[in-house]
Each structure stands twice: as C-alpha cells, then as structure tokens.
Structure 1
Amino acid sequence: MIFRQLFDPVSSTYTYLLGDSGEALLIDSVYEQVPRDLALLEELGLRLFATLDTHVHADHVTGAWRLRQRCGSDIALAAVVEADGPTRLLRHGERIDFGTRHLTVRATPGHTNGCLTYVLDDQSMAFTGDSLLIRGCGRTDFQQGSPEQLFASVREQILSLPDNCLLYPAHDYRGITVTSVAEERRFNPRLGGDVDIGDFTGYMNNLNLPHPKLMAVAVPANLRCGKPEGGPDPAETPDWAPLTLRFSGVWEIEPMALLEHGAAFQIVDVREAPEFIDRLGHLPGARLVPLSQLMSRIDELDRERPVVAVCRSGVRSAQASVLLSKAGFGKVANLAGGMLRWKIEGLPVASDSV
C-alpha cells in the first residue's frame, strides 16, 4: 500500500493519500493544494477513486469538488451533515474499498455532529480528523458539537482500537505527525488516563476560544463540498508563473517563486507612501501605486506584462488583484503573505525613497 502524509502550512491541515493497485483515496484535501495532490497522483500512477472528509471543516475549504472536476472522483461525507454535493453518503460501519484494501467508517461525533474516523482494514492506522488530536481534541462549541458525545466517541470508537494502531489527525500546530492509541490512552491530558466525563465536560465547556478566522467562509463552502460561488475556473491554471488559486478566486505567488521569476513581472506595491520606506522596505524594482489611487493610475501599467500586487500582509494586494482582473489585466497575482512573509524568509529588500 502507498501512504503519504501531506501538509498545508496555511491551515496546518494534514491530507492523507492512500493507494493500492492503482486506486487512491485522499482524506481531508485542501482547496489550494489540489495542484500538488494531482501532481503526486500522476507521479505515483494512481487514479483518484474518492475524496473523504472527516467532517465539515471550519478552518479551510475542502478540495473535494475541485478534484472531482479533474478526476471524476467520488465525494464522500457523513450523511448526517446533509451537504450539497456528496456522491456518497457515509454512515457508521460502512466500508470504503480502494484496490485490494479498504477503510471502515466509524462515526465519532462531538467536535461536530458529522465527524467520522476512518480505520484501515488491518487496524494498523486510523484517521481521526479533529475528534482526537495529538495530546488533544477538537473543540465542541459549534456545529452541533457536544463534549459528552465526543468523550464517548473517542473512548468507544478510537481508543478501543489496538494499542499499536497509529492515529493520524487532521491538524497539528506543532509539527507532530502521528501518535498511537497507547500513547493517547496514557498521555492525552483531556481524554486519557483517569479522566472521566465530568473532568472532560468541565474542561471543554470553559475553553472560551474565538471562532476560527475562516469559519464564515469555510463552513458554507464545505457544505457545498468546496464548490465556489462564481470565480475563475480552477482548471484554467495560468502558465506564466507557478501560482496557487485561493478559494477567494485570487491567484497567489509564493515569495521564492517571485524572486526567481520577478524580472519578467510588473511589481506593484499598493501600500501608502510612508509604508514603502518603513522598516519592511519594499521589493527591488517595485512601483508604488497606493490602493486608493490604483484605478485612477491604471494606465501607468502595461496590460501585456504580468502584474504582481504587493502590500504588508497580502490583504490589500488581494483586493488590488481583483480590481486589476476586473479592469482587464489577464495576468495578475498576489504576493502570498505580503512583505511580512518576504521579510521573514530573508529575501532582498530595498528602502530607497519613492
């Protein structure tokens, strides 16, 4: 069997690829990482049979719909969610075949009402979503979550697996990649050891966490299995630079890619003049056109050359990218993470005046 653990650094999401006899499954795909996943499938000679989501995510948009457009793959999700778009509705105890192997579906509600855990046929590994994280678990305060349900789900459906069963979560924010049933039974501070349901519910009911930043976008999108409302066709990937399509419809370029290819582009910094020469500096060769002046100065730009928009964090430049595209510029991208990311990565900056 082929197994790969993939990572999205923006949402700290793990995506899992399982393949056997030419067929593959992807668990918890990420919309922006679909080109990566397609490339890997092609290199490994695998046909994507289905995408599985462990639950309706609140911190990223699934790549399920986008992958189906390219591969014809099934979209599998818990039936209880009542989402728009799945081609296979999953319930507890069902079996998902790929090649000569299969996963068994275990319903593990509590983080959300539609959480599922996928267990490999020989119980050597399980994919727990957010129901059980490494030394932690998912929150229980939205999407019909319930600490009582989660406690029962983890104890009865996950920690009941063999001690040596490896557990792979949907997220880890510290870079830890895997744990085991024995480890979590012993060391999980929320659900292991002598913790009882009273301890757990008391802890979970007093977390007082803010909602995920992307929740208002991600949950509705994931209830459509990642299908965008309008925006560009994801199949039409630009060939003028290595770009990533964000769910918002904005194409982004990574800092290193811009450093390598930037000589061919018009780099437009849309911050205000004082920011252009502040401690972050600006990209060598960048032209300062504040966002507030962009439309009135648009004729200063060459419509035939690609444009990369830049700002402090990538937010204003994303808006600039949208405006430029609507104005008829065919090759536009946003610098991912803006000058903050550029500076963190130690790439060259200029600080000369406008």
Structure 2
Amino acid sequence: MAIGGPFIFRQLFDAKSFTYTYLIGDATSREALIIDPVLEKAERDIDLVKELDLRLLYAINTHVHADHVTGTRNLKQAIEGCQSVISVLSKAKADMVFNDGDILHCGGIELECRSTPGHTPGCTTFVLHSVGAAFTGDALFVRGCGRTDFQEGSAEQLYDSVHSKVLSLPRNYFLFPGHDYTGRMMTTVDEERRLNPRFTKSKAEFIEIMNNLNLPRPKLMDHAEPLNMACGVPNE
C-alpha cells in the first residue's frame, strides 16, 4: 500500500480496548476522515488532525461498538464541520448514514461502503480501491473475526458477508482490522483466504466454532452501547 504521495495515512492504537483508529487524508485538498475513533484517545486524534493541518470532514464508525465509547462527539465538538457517519443498518443517530455500496468522497479519496453484517447488523467494511486497501472493523481480524453472540449477531451472516464482500477482493489488497490483541497491524486478502482458521472452514464448521467461543460479556457494553447509538457522549 502506497502511504505517501497524494494520501496521508495513520494507523493509531488504543491499548485499553485494543482498537485501531485510522486517519486518512488527501494531501492536496487536506480533507480527511477518521475511522473508529476512541473516546479516551480523542485528544490525541484532535491534536494530530491539527498538527497535520487537515480538515476533518467525517468521523466514521464501522459499527455500534460494545467494548469502548466512540470519540466521535469529541471530534465534532473540537473540529468545525466534522460530521458523524455510520451505516443506516446500525439504527444509530448520526449526521450522515450510508447504505451498502455508497461511496464517501473526501478530496480525491473515494471510500466504498460494503455492508458486512454478522458481528452486528450495521457492520461495514470500507474499501479504498485506489491504494488496494480495506478497513474491516470487527467483521474480519488478522486470523480471526468479531464475535457473534450479542447485539443481534449472526455467525451464518458473518460467514456469508466476509466471503462475499471482503475475501472476494483482489488477493493483494491489504486489510486493516478494527482490533488486534497480539500486536498484528494488518494482513492481506490472500493471507486470510489461506490462513484464517475460521474462514477457511465450511459454513457449518464456522457456525459451530462461533457458537462455542464462550466469551465473557464485554465489561463496558451496558455503558458503551447506548452512548454509541448516539455516536458518542451526549451533551450535558
């Protein structure tokens, strides 16, 4: 992936929730967008946007998160003109909602919105075809995927959407996940098609795996989910 030239790209990390945030900008127009900002890291993100002299148009969430509160509201309050963006299928409140197949424009950046439900109904993968990259949120991790046992999740739906909308991309496309718990920053379509221990299985085997993870309920879910349905911390 070419990260110089006309594009500005930063992969940022929140160690508490193991969340990746992505800042993508057009180096010519200075217009930018951010994907999955985290509340506790909002000041870092705001400072970086200002330091790089960017005009942040969009704060985008790949889905309604259960493990952290989004930093979207703080970005909107600090940066004039910044709009909150999320899938219409999430049923969350936002300045803008998009549908499957929509294109978000930001300077010369064209970001394709691909609905990849299963972890949650509103999960979206964003594809930047011009540089051969996709931002998969919690639909697909490096050698893994998001869980499907809460927030109206569906293992069958996740299997179908990842295979049809993500693993169908060109094999050389880079994939940037919403989380990683072991320090891995990215992968490729080719790697996940060959090596992902879940998506290399049959659908029936995948469903069996996902239905037997027996993971604990996210600690912040009861706090985070209602706030994220409003794209951040409500005004007092």
TM-score relative to the length of structure 2: 0.94
What is aligned with 1:142? Answer: 150
Give the alignment of 1:96-115 within 5 angstroms: 96-115=104-123
Task: Please give the alpha-carbon distance, in whole angstroms, between the structure 2 residues aligned to 1:214 and 1:153.
Answer: 27
Please state if 1:205 is matched with 2:215: no
Cα deviations by residue, 1:4-41 (Å, 9 ceiling, x for unpaired): 00001111110000000200100000011111111111
Does structure 2 conserve the Cα–Cα contact (< 8 Å) formed by 1:24 and 1:46? Answer: yes
- Structure 2 counterpart of 1:156, from 152, 164, 167: 164
Task: Please give the alpha-carbon distance, in whole angstroms, between the structure 2 residues aligned to 1:210 and 1:6.
Answer: 26
Secondary structure, in 3 states, of the residue corresponding to 2:149?
coil
What is aligned with 1:10? Answer: 16
Which residues of structure 2 form unaligned runs of 5+?
1-6
Please state if 1:49 is matched with 2:57: yes
Secondary structure, in 3 states, of the residue corresponding to 1:228?
coil
Does structure 2 conserve the Cα–Cα contact (< 8 Å) formed by 1:151 and 1:191? Answer: yes
What is aligned with 2:77? Answer: 69
Does structure 1 conserve the Cα–Cα contact (< 8 Å) formed by 2:90 and 2:123? Answer: no
Cα deviations by residue, 1:224-281 (Å, 9 ceiling, x for unpaired): 1112363xxxxxxxxxxxxxxxxxxxxxxxxxxxxxxxxxxxxxxxxxxxxxxxxxxx
Secondary structure, in 3 states, of the residue corresponding to 1:113?
coil
Task: Please give the alpha-carbon distance, in whole angstroms, between the structure 2 residues aligned to 1:228 and 1:211.
Answer: 24
In the TM superposition, structure 1's runs of 4+ consecutive aligned residues that sit over 2 Å from their partners are 227-230
Does structure 2 conserve the Cα–Cα contact (< 8 Å) formed by 1:123 and 1:161? Answer: no
Task: Please give the alpha-carbon distance, in whole angstroms, between the structure 1 residues aligned to 2:118 and 2:235.
Answer: 29
- Structure 1 counterpart of 2:220, from 214, 218, 240: 214
TM-score relative to the length of structure 1: 0.63
Give the alignment of 1:162-177 within 5 angstroms: 162-177=170-185
Does structure 2 conserve the Cα–Cα contact (< 8 Å) formed by 1:123 and 1:162? Answer: no
What is aligned with 2:4? Answer: none
Percent of aligned positions with the same letter in both sequences?
Answer: 52
What is aligned with 1:260? Answer: none
What is aligned with 1:132? Answer: 140
Q: Which amino acid aligns with 2:215?
A: L
Please state if 1:224 is matched with 2:230: yes
Does structure 2 conserve the Cα–Cα contact (< 8 Å) formed by 1:124 and 1:165? Answer: yes
Secondary structure, in 3 states, of the residue corresponding to 2:130?
coil
Secondary structure, in 3 states, of the residue corresponding to 1:142?
coil
Of structures 1 and 2, the larger Rg is shown by: 1
- Structure 2 counterpart of 1:186, from 194, 208, 232: 194
Task: Please give the alpha-carbon distance, in whole angstroms, between the structure 2 residues aligned to 1:138 and 1:176.
Answer: 15
Alpha-carbon offset, residue 153 of structure 1: 0.6
Alpha-carbon offset, residue 83 of structure 1: 1.4
Cα deviations by residue, 1:161-185 (Å, 9 ceiling, x for unpaired): 0111000011001111000000000
Does structure 1 conserve the Cα–Cα contact (< 8 Å) formed by 2:142 and 2:192? Answer: yes
Please state if 1:79 is matched with 2:88: yes
Q: Which amino acid aligns with 1:97?
A: H
Q: Which amino acid aligns with 1:190?
A: R
Task: Please give the alpha-carbon distance, in whole angstroms, between the structure 2 residues aligned to 1:47 and 1:229.
Answer: 23
Cα deviations by residue, 1:102-145 (Å, 9 ceiling, x for unpaired): 10000000000110000003261000001000000000011111
Which residues of structure 1 form unaligned runs of 5+?
231-354
Aligned length: 227
Task: Please give the alpha-carbon distance, in whole angstroms, between the structure 2 residues aligned to 1:198 and 1:162.
Answer: 25
